[in-house]
Amino acid sequence: MLAKKWADSGLITDERVISSFLETPREEFILRDHTENAYSDYPLPIYSGQTISQPTTVMIMTQALEAKEGMKVLEIGAGSGYQAAILSKLVGKTGKVYSIEFSPELVAYAQQNLRKTGCSNVTVSYGDGSQGFAAKAPYDRIIVTAAAPKIPPPLLEQLNEGGILIIPVDSGFGQTMKKIIKKDGKFVEQELGEFQFVPLRGKYGR
């Protein structure tokens, strides 16, 4: 239903992104109490006071990221592991997704969910994602699932030439989703609209 709505409206035009949504069981990434709302288009609570984003927001971010087969992707904010599972399909067996999560409880939860859904090309680690993950840098793509006061410098430093960073940044009353493209050593910025996210935690967060 949601996939048809996105396609019909022209909001999501990348067939690979829609396929990744259809192939990823959202009900495996939410609390059992909310299973009946797995495909409702709104955020749902998970552990540690966090939420899993509404499907439309996940798809907008995913399409903007332009993840392709064989790429190395860094995700900041694993949450329940749902976004990483979507990315897992897009980078394929030759690609790799590294996800950094500030909450130990959510690290374990995401690892469990990704394991039971067969996402073997995803590694979830505990850490301060606002500082990126230098151990495996640089990355072809970086996606941040929490709002930062401003773009953390380490994320820009860890982005490959030609790479893309998707990040929500505080903009007064809400957050503006930004797409940063590294081109010839410089950063080109685009705005993708206003959204609402939980705050990024850590050195460059709140």
The Cα–Cα gap between 115 and 140 comes to 24
CATH superfamily of 2-195: Vaccinia Virus protein VP39 (3.40.50.150)
Q: Write out the two tokens for 166.
A: 């998707």
Contact 27, 44 (CB under 8 A): no
- Quote the pLDDT of residue 36: 72
Domain ranges of the chain: 2-195
Over 90: is that where the pLDDT of 188 sits?
yes
pTM for this structure? 0.94
Which residues participate in catalysis according to the annotation?
53
Q: What is the pLDDT of residues 54-96, one digit of tens each?
A: 889 999 999 999 999 999 999 999 999 999 999 999 999 999 9
Q: What is the pLDDT of residues 120-154, one digit of tens each?
A: 999 999 999 999 999 999 999 999 999 999 999 99
- Quote the pLDDT of residue 101: 97
- Could you give the angle at the alpha carbon of 100 between the alpha carbons of 51 and 76, nearest 5°? 60
Which residues are paired to 147 by β-bridges? 199
Q: Which among 15-19, 42-46, 97-101 has the top mean pLDDT?
A: 97-101
Q: What is the mean pLDDT of the chain?
A: 93
Query: 160, exposed or middle or buried, with CB in 10 Å at 0-12, 13-18, 19+?
Result: middle
Secondary structure (H, E, C), 102-148 = CCHHHHHHHHHHHHHCCCCCEEEEECCHHHCCHHHCCEEEEEECCEE
3-class SS at 30? Answer: coil
